[in-house]
Amino acid sequence: MLNITATYTDQYQLAMAQVYFQNGQRETTAVFDYFFRKLPFRNGYAIFAGLENLLEILEDLRFSDSDIDFLKKQEFSEEFIEYLRNFKFRGTIYSAKEGDLVFPTRPVLQVEATMIEAQIIETMLLNILNFQTLIATKASRMRLVAGDRTLLDFGLRRSQGAGGYYASRAAIIGGFNGTSNVIAGKDFEIPVSGTMAHSFIQSYDDELTAFRAFAKGRPHDCVLLVDTYDTLKSGLPHAIKVGKEMEQKGEKLAGIRLDSGDLAYLAKESRKMLDNAGLEYVKIAASNQLDEFVIKSLLEQQAPIDVFGVGTNLVTGSPDGALDGVYKLAESNGKPRLKISENLSKVTIPHKKQVYRLSDSEGHLVGADAMTMRSETRIDRMHDPMESLKSLAVEGCKMEALLHPVMIDGKRTEKPRSLEEISQYAKERLGTLPAEYKRFFNPHIYKVGISSKLKEERENLLNKYKI
Amino acid sequence: MLNITATYTDQYQLAMAQVYFQNGQRETTAVFDYFFRKLPFRNGYAIFAGLENLLEILEDLRFSDSDIDFLKKQEFSEEFIEYLRNFKFRGTIYSAKEGDLVFPTRPVLQVEATMIEAQIIETMLLNILNFQTLIATKASRMRLVAGDRTLLDFGLRRSQGAGGYYASRAAIIGGFNGTSNVIAGKDFEIPVSGTMAHSFIQSYDDELTAFRAFAKGRPHDCVLLVDTYDTLKSGLPHAIKVGKEMEQKGEKLAGIRLDSGDLAYLAKESRKMLDNAGLEYVKIAASNQLDEFVIKSLLEQQAPIDVFGVGTNLVTGSPDGALDGVYKLAESNGKPRLKISENLSKVTIPHKKQVYRLSDSEGHLVGADAMTMRSETRIDRMHDPMESLKSLAVEGCKMEALLHPVMIDGKRTEKPRSLEEISQYAKERLGTLPAEYKRFFNPHIYKVGISSKLKEERENLLNKYKI
């Protein structure tokens, strides 16, 4: 559905690129870190999502003919336009696996390319990874509170324009079971599902006729929306009637859907009425402004809801709306680089890096990721990147390298992973995280540190630039 | 950039469509209202946006071959798949003009089509109009506080996936001057602009060398980012040095950009330093987590900022994230239809309708839009749709019809309007709105009412369905 060309970028990337180009710095190399500073939703972890889409786009990223025509009208030189016409991303990317747990300040991904290539892809990279990571994380919060109940994404109508496309994909990585979004279902092989709208009921002269028509047309997947006129006095009795009629034909009513009113109360009453009619197998689905807090509350009230349809709050990542992921220069022309800030948390970390996840001798996570120079394979101690006096002994820990070369010289190193594989991986990785980091409120803070070597390198550089 | 086909929809639209199709209801007609219930951002008005994109997509909306292949794998009948293969939207749309002011509960747009066609387009229609209206409204709030200062959209990197594409367009309708988003600039003819990133500075061994390189490469549009190392001690002195060097060559430094720290303080100090150096013409741009509240505060502090670059909070419509626009059946097969709800504000309003904007004999808006049956051309009194005892005499008011036929039988009635025309129109319409509705906090509530005839029709229908 998306036809993303290389103009999916910010103007300043092209402005800077032209300067590099004209200054004889076409081949100046760069290493950029992609990382975020703050976990969304006050959550204890984030789930990295969007990598497959990014790599797929990068392999074929070009300026189209119409892009070139457009850029000719800007103030770019002919030689530079010619360069853009032949533009191709030839860089190398080290990345966390899609679906892995990621934490603030550590690189999620590192791009090595010419400065020009690395800049041109920046905006698109941030756009894709920030958003999908946000939504996968939001979805994961809902999965943790929903247990093994079915979670469906119903968000396309309220999603931010075409943002809904990737939102449906990211929701699956976070643990959702399906989507109502047909185009995302098609492109990403997500199970699609849907029930019926109020308009369907209203278009018939009465509710029972509408239910019967739907049951006749969808005997194998009939979920009846019961709140158009009155849930308990009209919707339920009619649904039960149709459910019993279906039994006569050897069919089974799949479910009912509640979309307004007090969902806890209505679900309990509906369950009773269905059970009393011998329709114990009929599932109850609920929708209407759900989020993880509402789902948690409904389940604490023992609302017998089997399926949750979640829209707006899932696909817009409410209330956060954006992951604050950034793309910062760590090295240029082989030299480590630093951005200084009055705010220490915004001072970047130079060099090509590796990130290790630490576990104890029995393989249990100790709740810490350590950044190192890429050449380091062992460290004894990691330091807080902000508070220089804070450190943690980590000798004896098992170290799992988290950044893998997923693209070398513009070519992917591995065949694409299916969405199912990625969500399975996300589930496994989340399974390794101790419960205190998954706590709904005030989760334990996962530690991220830097090696002694990296700390020393950074401090040297800071001193050099200090005014 | 977007290739939207008819699978840009929710699965249930297709499920319902198949039922209509099989039930011999292929030609059952429907009238749907698009409206929203709540103004976003506690604002006093919303600006309608997205219509041009919707109409353009609708005129060519088809199921692609790959859509059809995908749907064949679902449980749809062969006849229905064949119908979808030939699907085309042949309906009629009455709509508010894009850029007009719109208010809760009144139809912004009305779709008349077969039930099948009207359902299949619902999700896409909501997706486009909800989001662009949200963002145009957000942008408008910033325009009102920014006066005639330049507002630029810098949001693509933090936007919700491809949502950024339409966000940049909607921002212009709300009053922004330009965008950093190149692909939106190209497709929607928006002025694109951009400065430089920290990485550019960092990639050189020192800031002054970086500034000189940029000034050499961009002599006509040189805006220097001054906060990489230290804004006042390093960035400004270097920028001033380069500004004076440019003057020697007969060039002019266009501006500096502040991206961190206390923007009010830094802008004032920067202004002084620039002015003292004879660089009074150099503009000051500011960015970093801006929104209408921050802009307002900066200007109240008399921060001499000429250009505001706004990202995340603009393009994600923070803190609301979504407009709650809905699409409700008003008529089917020529009969008025109603959705009942325990919540009176959710009871729909039946019939084909017109909406009138009321003004006094001198042409000043009285702060009220009135819904009528489409056949009514004069009303004397309008009633609150929720509180039946509240009403307002409106005799003698001038009545401007707000819904216009923009598509008839699947064909647009007018040639597309340019984005510039639309934003000009939005500006004019906002100019007609009295100040109290544009107040930043607690704006006056614009009244929306229904005619006596419509009230009577609705009550009759309500009584008929009452349980």
Q: Is B365 helix (H, G, I), strand (E, B) or coil?
A: strand
Q: Is B246 helix (H, G, I), strand (E, B) or coil?
A: helix
Banded pLDDT at A156 (limits 50, 70, 90): very high
Tell me the CATH number at B189: 3.20.20.70
- B308 and B364 co-located in one domain: no
Q: What backbone torsions phi and psi does residue A446 show, to the nearest 5 degrees?
A: -70, 135
Cβ distance B50 to B131 under 8 Å?
A: yes
Is any Cβ of chain A less than 8 angstroms from the Cβ of B329?
yes
| Subunit contact A30:B203, Cβ cutoff 8 A | yes
Q: Closest to A19 (Cβ–Cβ): which among B165, B180, B218? A: B218
Q: Determine the residue of chain A that is closest to B200 in CA distance.
A: A16
Task: Find which of A8, A11, A192 to mutate to test the B interface (most B CBs within 10 Å of its CB).
Answer: A11
Task: Spell out where B311-431 has E strands.
Answer: 326-332, 335-336, 353-359, 365-373, 381-383, 391-393, 398-401, 404-408, 411-412
Q: What residues contact residue B255 under an 8 Å CB cut-off, 6+ apart?
A: B195, B222, B223, B224, B282, B283, B284, B285, B306, B307
Please check whether residue A416 lies inside any domain of the structure.
yes
> Could you count the other beta carbons within 10 Å of the beta carbon of residue A384?
16
Give the rounded percent of residues in chain B with a pLDDT score beyond 90. 93
- Residue that is last in its domain, among B288, B315, B342: B315
- B-facing residues of A in 435-464 (CB < 8 A) are none
Is any Cβ of chain A less than 8 angstroms from the Cβ of B426?
no
Nearest to B228 by CA among B248, B206, B252, B213: B206
- A347 and A283 co-located in one domain: no
pLDDT, tens digit (0-9, with 9 covering 90-100), for A420-460: 999 999 999 999 999 999 999 999 999 999 999 999 999 99
Is any Cβ of chain A less than 8 angstroms from the Cβ of B51?
no
Helices (H), A180-311: 182-188, 198-202, 207-217, 236-248, 263-276, 292-300
Cβ distance B331 to B374 under 8 Å?
A: no
Q: What backbone torsions phi and psi does residue A262 show, to the nearest 5 degrees?
A: -80, 100
Token representation of residue B300? 């109240």
Position B88, amino acid: K
Q: Is A61 helix (H, G, I), strand (E, B) or coil?
A: coil
Please check whether residue A68 lies inside any domain of the structure.
yes
Q: Determine the residue of chain A that is closest to B333 in CA distance.
A: A203
Tokens 């719109």 found at: B102
| Subunit contact A23:B213, Cβ cutoff 8 A | yes
Please check whether residue A217 lies inside any domain of the structure.
yes
Is any Cβ of chain B less than 8 angstroms from the Cβ of A128?
yes
Q: Determine the residue of chain B that is closest to A3 in CA distance.
A: B1
How close is the nearest chain A Cα to the Cα of B438, in Å?
Answer: 25
Please check whether residue A367 lies inside any domain of the structure.
yes
Chain B residues in contact with A16 (beta carbon < 8 A): 196-197, 199-200, 214
Give the rounded percent of residues in chain A with a pLDDT score beyond 90. 93
pLDDT, tens digit (0-9, with 9 covering 90-100), for B341-370: 767 777 899 999 999 999 999 999 999 999
Token representation of residue A46? 């984030």
Q: Closest to A337 (Cβ–Cβ): which among B4, B30, B203? A: B203
Measured between alpha carbons, how far is A174 from A137 in angstroms, rounded to an integer? 6
Q: Determine the residue of chain B that is closest to A341 in CA distance.
A: B229
- B338 and B428 co-located in one domain: yes
Position A97, amino acid: K
Chain B residues in contact with A75 (beta carbon < 8 A): 220-221
Measured between alpha carbons, how far is A87 from A64 in angstroms, rounded to an integer? 10
Give the rounded percent of residues in chain B with a pLDDT score beyond 70. 99
β-sheet with A411-412: strand ranges across: A335-336, A326-332, A29-35, A109-114, A92-95, A404-408, A411-412
Is any Cβ of chain A less than 8 angstroms from the Cβ of B288?
no
Q: What residues contact residue B182 under an 8 Å CB cut-off, 6+ apart?
A: A7, A8, A9, A10, A11, A14, A70, B192
- Residue that is last in its domain, among A306, A337, A370: A306
Q: Closest to A22 (Cβ–Cβ): which among B22, B217, B467? A: B217
Token representation of residue A427? 């589930």
Nearest to B134 by CA among A153, A159, A287, A132: A159
Is any Cβ of chain A less than 8 angstroms from the Cβ of B340?
yes
Is any Cβ of chain B less than 8 angstroms from the Cβ of A9?
yes
Rounded (5°) CA angle B112-B116-B122: 70
Q: Specify which residues A372 forms β-bridges with.
A: A354
Q: Closest to A12 (Cβ–Cβ): which among B163, B194, B203? A: B194
Is any Cβ of chain B less than 8 angstroms from the Cβ of A133?
no
Cβ distance A163 to B159 under 8 Å?
A: yes
- A332 and A412 co-located in one domain: yes
| Subunit contact B194:A10, Cβ cutoff 8 A | yes
- B153 and B119 co-located in one domain: no
- Return the H-helix or E-strand segment holding A451: strand A447-451
Chain B residues in contact with A19 (beta carbon < 8 A): 200, 213-214, 216-218
From the centroid of its chain, how far is CA A374? 26
Q: What is the mean pLDDT of residues B87-104?
A: 98
A338: DSSP letter: -
DSSP string for B80-116? HHHHHHT-----EEEEPPTT-EE-TTS-SEEEEEEHH
Is any Cβ of chain A less than 8 angstroms from the Cβ of B211?
no
Cβ distance B133 to B49 under 8 Å?
A: yes
- B169 and B268 co-located in one domain: yes
How close is the nearest chain A Cα to the Cα of B302, in Å?
Answer: 23
How close is the nearest chain A Cα to the Cα of B124, in Å?
Answer: 7
Please classify residue B334 by burial: count the beta carbons closer than 10 Å to its beta carbon, then call 0-12 exposed, 13-18 middle and 19+ buried. Answer: exposed
Position B344, amino acid: L
Q: Which domain holds residue B364?
A: 11-123+333-465
Measured between alpha carbons, how far is B237 from A314 in angstroms, rounded to an integer? 47
Q: Determine the residue of chain B that is closest to A340 in CA distance.
A: B229
Q: Which pLDDT belongs to residue A386?
A: 86
Q: What residues contact residue A185 under an 8 Å CB cut-off, 6+ apart?
A: A168, A178, A179, A191, A192, B11, B70
Token representation of residue A89? 């991303």
Nearest to B217 by CA among A76, A117, A67: A76
- Return the H-helix or E-strand segment holding A151: strand A150-153
Chains A and B form CB pairs within 8 A to the count of 343
How close is the nearest chain B Cα to the Cα of A119, in Å?
Answer: 9
Banded pLDDT at A467 (limits 50, 70, 90): low
- Return the H-helix or E-strand segment holding B46: strand B46-47
Pairing of strands A404-408, B46-47: unpaired
Give per-residue burial for B117-133: e unless 16+ CB within 10 Å, then b: bbbbbbbbbbbbbbbbb
Q: Is A133 helix (H, G, I), strand (E, B) or coil?
A: helix
Pairing of strands B150-153, B178-179: parallel
- A454 and A327 co-located in one domain: yes
Q: Is B130 helix (H, G, I), strand (E, B) or coil?
A: helix
- A-facing residues of B in 309-328 (CB < 8 A) are 312, 316-319, 321-324, 327-328
Is any Cβ of chain B less than 8 angstroms from the Cβ of A57?
no
Please check whether residue A394 lies inside any domain of the structure.
yes
Mean per-residue pLDDT of chain B: 95
Measured between alpha carbons, how far is A175 from A429 in angstroms, rounded to an integer? 12
Is any Cβ of chain A less than 8 angstroms from the Cβ of B162?
yes
- Return the H-helix or E-strand segment holding A450: strand A447-451
Please check whether residue B3 lies inside any domain of the structure.
no
B240: DSSP letter: H
- A395 and A330 co-located in one domain: yes
- B360 and B212 co-located in one domain: no
- B255 and B228 co-located in one domain: yes
Measured between alpha carbons, how far is A121 from B182 in angstroms, rounded to an integer? 12
| Subunit contact A131:B230, Cβ cutoff 8 A | no
- B148 and B113 co-located in one domain: no
What's the number of domains chain A is made of?
2
pLDDT, tens digit (0-9, with 9 covering 90-100), for A163-213: 999 999 999 999 999 999 999 999 999 999 988 999 999 999 899 999 999
| Subunit contact A160:B2, Cβ cutoff 8 A | no
Measured between alpha carbons, how far is B46 from B39 in angstroms, rounded to an integer? 7
Which ipTM value was assigned to this complex?
0.96
Q: What residues contact residue B462 under an 8 Å CB cut-off, 6+ apart?
A: B338, B340, B347
- A359 and A444 co-located in one domain: yes
Q: Specify which residues B81 forms β-bridges with.
A: none
- Return the H-helix or E-strand segment holding B12: helix B11-22
Tokens 């589930």 found at: A427
- Residue that is last in its domain, among A255, A271, A306: A306
Q: Closest to A128 (Cβ–Cβ): which among B161, B192, B200? A: B161
Banded pLDDT at B467 (limits 50, 70, 90): low
- Return the H-helix or E-strand segment holding B53: helix B51-59
Rounded (5°) CA angle B321-B323-B329: 145
pLDDT, tens digit (0-9, with 9 covering 90-100), for A233-243: 999 999 999 99
Chain B residues in contact with A126 (beta carbon < 8 A): 157-158
Token representation of residue A111? 């791009």
pLDDT, tens digit (0-9, with 9 covering 90-100), for A265-324: 999 999 999 999 999 999 999 999 999 999 999 999 999 999 999 999 999 999 999 999
Q: Is the pLDDT score of A258 beyond 90?
A: yes
Please check whether residue A430 lies inside any domain of the structure.
yes
Please classify residue B333 by burial: count the beta carbons closer than 10 Å to its beta carbon, then call 0-12 exposed, 13-18 middle and 19+ buried. Answer: middle
Chain B residues in contact with A8 (beta carbon < 8 A): 1, 156, 182-183
Please check whether residue A81 lies inside any domain of the structure.
yes
Cβ distance A309 to A176 under 8 Å?
A: no
Cβ distance B292 to B142 under 8 Å?
A: yes
> Could you count the other beta carbons within 10 Å of the beta carbon of residue A248?
7
- Quote the longest CA-to-CA distance of chain A: 84
Banded pLDDT at B306 (limits 50, 70, 90): very high
Chain B residues in contact with A70 (beta carbon < 8 A): 182, 185-186
Q: Closest to A162 (Cβ–Cβ): which among B2, B30, B122? A: B2
Tell me the CATH number at A90: 3.20.140.10
Is any Cβ of chain A less than 8 angstroms from the Cβ of B219?
no
Tokens 């025309």 found at: B421
